Amino acid sequence: MRTTRTVAGIAVLALALSACGGAGESDTSGTQAADSAVGVTKDSVVIGTHQPLTGPAAPGYSKISVGARAVFQSINDGGGINGRKIDYKVEDDGYNPTKTVEVVKKLVLQDKVFAIVGGLGTPTHSKVVDYLNTEGVPDLLVSSGALAWDNPQKAPMTFGYQLDYTREGKIQGKYIKDTFAGKKVGYFTQNDDVGRDTQAGLDQFIKDQTVAKQGYDSANTDVTPQLSALKAAGAEVVVCECIPAFTALSILAAAKIGYKPQFVVSSIGADPATLSGLLQDFAKRGGASVSSAQLLNGLIGTGYLPDVAQTSDPWVAYFKGIHDKYIPKEQLTNTLFYGMVLAYTFAQALKASGPDPTRQKIVEAMSSGSLKGPGLTPFGFSKDSHSGYTGGYVFKINPDTTTTVIQQPAVTDRGTGAITPYSGERATPDQVNLLGK
Amino acid sequence: MRTSLPEAPAGSPARPGNRRLPPLVLHILAALGALAVIVVLTLVTDEFTNLRIATVGYYLIAVAGLTLLTGLTGQVSLGHGAFMFIGAYTVALLVRRVPAFPLWADLLLAAAAGGLGGLLAGAAAARLRGPYLAGATLALAVGLPALTRRFQDFLGGSNGLSFTVHSRPAGLAGVVPELRWQTWIVWLSVLVALVFVVNIVRGKLGRTFRAVRDDEVAAALSGIHVGRTKILAFLVSAVCGGLAGGLQAYLLGTAAPGSFTPALSLSLLAAVVLGGLGSLWGALWGAIALVYFQAWSEDLADALHLNTDVANNLPLAVYGVILIVVVLAFPRGIQGGFQRLRGLLRRTAEKKENHENH
């Protein structure tokens, strides 16, 4: 066995030479200078995003970039922002974190993007925050409500977009406590920051009403065991903090076992149009046909953007115009709308960074608090906060799958602060006036 | 081991020059040559291509391990991604919890942890064969990542763990880009591991493996402990899987259950078949195909401005079509194709020579 020993010796020597310090040692190189303008030319700005176009989160979410692209097209056709067209590169990561790291490195190193805009997902995006901040790449409007994006000290380039899960949990918790006092509540949450952060909010109000907590993993689409456990625990209200596919799966699983709780769904998975489609699709694959209107009737959800059914809203009307012109064949869902608002908000920040945008300038524009937008509550952006929308409203789905607001918009903080109704004025599309000089 | 025979056995064609070199030395020289090629390759390509080269590296060792298991001992594993999962989480936990450990120790432990998993899986698998074995290993790929949910605080739930590995010596900052350095480390580790694997395949153990694959009864009759051999094959291939997972975690700074779905295990097996079952060169072609077919078909989808639904599924479809075509045309994979081509060329050359002689 002498040769074996030789090989082992060489192997150890080679590996020892390869690294002397500890693998986890902190690096000396800090954040790179952000005053660069990578990706910006005289007539274009290249931006990128990672989206689940395939995989477990694709049902529903794959439409976000479709909506965003339509808005960018409309802006480009109107002459762009300060004369620059927006080149929007969408990479599919399949909701797989390994893939996310690869495609984000591709966008940064190969496509040389100016910024990552609306990177989607908590398990996915959390793997690239360090990288983007080390490389000094603006990481704007992350499509997730995790608290992790709001950390200006550690991640100065990263900004949230959505109402964060703790704030949303507080608004839901208070609503449940007020409306369903004394009823037994079960939590059904995604096994990551979505679940953890939401419960931090819910528990402030309904901890003693809670009888069961169940979680799901996006790789496993059978949720019958969890719903059975919630049924067995006697939960009359089920708070579902799920992505659209899993909201639909939960509703179907509950129906299958004859369980009829009051579902309270958070904004990430409560879009009626998307859910209707998914319910029918999943049921068909299971060999059944269902009435999605019947299944969705009475479902309670939270939101922070106007519902696309509210055609009298000036922003809904504005985006419907873009929708009709560029993507008339796509169904106008709240998910599609989410992507449109995202794109519009980025364009506002780009405009606010002046005629010669740099990475530093767009970060300052994001922090300036100047972004006004389609949301029903304001953004939390400032020097000390990189938090997205700061509040939301509660709605109920009607028998015809339209929605009715049952609690007006309210804002709160991510700590234990009060929930206060919000009635501030929203700027209209005319007042923002993105195009032109 | 009988690797230090002074002379090649009589009758074998003596190749000039390397008659005196024992195979081990040859393999080490070949590995050094390969490392030099990789270093040159990374120097002439951009940083993102470096990442792809590194990706080929860790897939190579994973596929090589699976080749040894499936091609050499005939055990079909549909759960090889599970060993990558073990390796990746080992590195993730070590980097986060024991930051003082050097990288090479992390990687060695990742390989060891993968091996331990393989030992346990192999002990169960040695009693199974064919579809039963495939099913059992598939269960491993499905079930193991669920551990992250069970031990949510420790393993980070579905969100997984993220971390940054700093392996580049401080003196090289500004000289060698981080990704290039990482690519070198990945390939160095892969080549060291490959030297082991090649030595096993070409040595006595490799013959034992093949004997078990070809006829278990005959192997047992000639004194080979079949069960033990099968477990050993599982162990070696799981060590490779663990190392591959560890290298992936090191390279990408992440370990999350969403990356180790059964689809990963299946694509590893597909790469084995595509490259050429039972050939280590095939493992290289398989790993390259795994990384580049995907990338090319994505670029193609981009270039064609396809409808999103088509574009999203194109990479998988292309991969499937290539797999079918290659297997139909060359049942022994890409490497088999190369061999056939070489044989064809030699025969034509001989024919030509014969013609000239007459």
pLDDT at residue A35 in the model? 64
- pLDDT computed for residue A426 by the predictor: 84
Give pLDDT, residue B5. Answer: 38
| Distance separating alpha carbons of residues B95 and B167, to the nearest angstrom | 11
- At residue B132, the pLDDT reads 85
pLDDT of residue A434: 78
Q: Which residues of B touch A61 (CB under 8 A)?
A: none
Reading the block at residue B13, the tokens are 């064609």
pLDDT by residue for chain A (437 residues), tens digit each? 444 455 445 444 444 444 445 666 544 444 455 567 899 999 999 999 999 988 878 888 899 999 999 999 999 999 999 999 999 999 989 888 889 999 999 999 999 999 999 999 988 999 999 999 999 999 999 999 989 899 999 999 999 999 999 999 999 999 999 999 999 999 999 888 888 899 999 999 999 999 999 998 877 789 999 999 999 999 999 999 998 899 999 999 999 999 999 999 999 999 998 899 889 888 888 888 888 888 999 999 999 999 998 888 999 999 999 999 999 999 999 999 999 999 999 999 999 999 999 999 999 999 998 888 789 999 999 999 999 999 999 999 999 888 999 999 999 998 888 999 988 888 888 888 777 55
What is the token pair recorded at B241?
Answer: 């899987």
Cross-chain CB nearest to A18 (options B156, B179, B185): B185
Residue A264: what pLDDT? Answer: 96
Give the pLDDT confidence score for residue B143 in this predicted structure. Answer: 87
* pLDDT, tens only, B41-80: 999 998 889 999 999 999 999 999 999 998 888 888 898 9
Q: How far is A325 from chain B (nearest CA, A)?
A: 18
Chain centroid, CA A174 distance in Å: 23
Per-residue pLDDT, A175: 95
Considering only CB atoms, which chain B residues are within 8 Å of A217? Answer: 145-146, 148-149, 157-158, 257
ipTM for the predicted complex: 0.80
Provide the b/e sequence for A230-264 (b: ≥16 CB within 10 Å).
bbeeebbbbbbbbbbbbbbbbbbbbbeeebebbbb
Q: What is the mean pLDDT of chain B?
A: 85
CB contact under 8 A, A19 and B167: yes
Which among A88, A89, A90 has a CA at the least distance from the CA of A76? Answer: A88
3-state secondary structure chain B: CCCCCCCCCCCCCCCCCCCCCCHHHHHHHHHHHHHHHHHHHHHHCCHHHHHHHHHHHHHHHHHHHHHHHHHHHCCCCCCHHHHHHHHHHHHHHHHHHCCCCEHHHHHHHHHHHHHHHHHHHHHHHCCCCHHHHHHHHHHHHHHHHHHHHHCHHHHCHHHCEECCCCCCCHHHCCCCCHHHHHHHHHHHHHHHHHHHHHHHHHCHHHHHHHHHHHCHHHHHHCCCCHHHHHHHHHHHHHHHHHHHHHHHHHHHCEECHHHCCHHHHHHHHHHHHHHCCCCHHHHHHHHHHHHHHHHHHHHHHHHHCCCHHHHHHHHHHHHHHHHHHHHHHCCCHHHHHHHHHHHHHHHHHHHHHHHHHC
Nearest CA in chain A to B308: A53
Contact B48/A106, CB-based, under 8 Å?
Answer: yes
| Beta carbons of B226 and B216 less than 8 angstroms apart | yes
With contact defined as beta carbons under 8 Å apart, do A126 and A146 qualify?
A: yes
DSSP-derived secondary structure letter, A149: G
Closest chain B residue by Cα to residue A107: B48
Contact between chains at A24 and B257 (C-beta distance less than 8 A): no
C-alpha closest to that of A114 among A434, A346, A380, A384: A346
Place of tokens 């859910």: A275
Residues 6+ away with beta carbon under 8 Å from A220: B146
**Distance between CA atoms of B241 and A300, rounded to whole angstroms?**
46
Q: What is the pLDDT of residue A30?
A: 43
Cα separation, B249 vs B334, whole angstroms: 29
* Type of residue found at B191: L
- CB pair distance less than 8 Å for B258 and A97: yes
Q: Which residues pair with A87 in a beta bridge?
A: A46
> Would the CB atoms of A192 and B189 count as touching at under 8 Å?
no
**Positions in chain B whose pLDDT score sits under 50:** 1-15
Nearest to B141 by CA among B90, B76, B190: B76
Cβ density class B144-176: b for 16+ within 10 Å, e for less: bbeebbeebeebbbbbbbbbbbbbbeeeeeeeb
Q: CA–CA distance from B299 to each of A279, B302, B305, B314 (Å)? A: 33, 5, 10, 10
